[in-house]
Amino acid sequence: MTAIETKIKKCIEPIINNLGYNIYDIIYEKEGKENYLRIFIDKAEGISLNDCENVNNSITDILDEKDFIKSAYMLEVSSTGIEKRIREDEHLEQNIGNKIEVHTFKAIEKQKSLIGILKEYNENSITIEIQTLCEMAKKDKKKAKNKMKKSEKNDKANIEQAKIIEIEKSNIIRMTTVYDWKN
């Protein structure tokens, strides 16, 4: 979180908490010619449009009064969405054991986008477990797919194998949670 985002959070967090919501994230960014202050809120029951409006109306005056941002900006209050952006160690902690997607500057395993289970993190890196094709599957993908179709679901281990990957935080462009759309 940038210095300005941190100042804004300290100012508005008590107001938002008193309304029964939590701040998940605050992002101040420029898109095209416009500046945006995005406040992402959350609560156990989920967020409605009325919740966003309620928070917006409750924080607008204090943000104008404190004048943290000197230039014109658009204020957006919204839910985190189903697939949440991961920017802070707090977000990483909440997602240990969950599936995440990591986009990197430099390729890892010949990819710049990896999906895996978040195993751990520290100040400098994160560790995820990804599924990779076993050697037989790498050599003959068609044969591997046919074998998978014929085999039981639990026999998937014959086609895929787990691999632990450590990714330096300095190599990470963006991380998000991954929602299982099949359920």
pLDDT of residue 147: 55
User: Are the CB atoms for 120 and 165 separated by under 8 Å?
Assistant: no
pLDDT of residue 132: 77
User: Are the CB atoms for 38 and 74 separated by under 8 Å?
Assistant: no
Cα maximum dimension of the chain: 66
Distance CA 71, CA 10 (A): 20
Sequential DSSP letters for 158-171? GTEEEEEEEEEGGG
Distance CA 38, CA 5 (A): 10
Residues of the chain with pLDDT under 50: 136-137, 152, 154, 157
CATH topology of domain 89-177: SH3 type barrels. (2.30.30)
pLDDT of residue 181: 83
Nearest of 60, 120, 74 to residue 95 by alpha carbon: 120
Q: How many CA atoms lie within 13 A of 3 on its CB side?
A: 2
- Return the domain boundaries, the chain: 3-79, 89-177
Nearest of 155, 95, 85, 156 to residue 127 by alpha carbon: 95
CATH superfamily to which 3-79 belongs: RimP-like superfamily, N-terminal (3.30.300.70)
Flag whether the pTM goes above 0.85. no
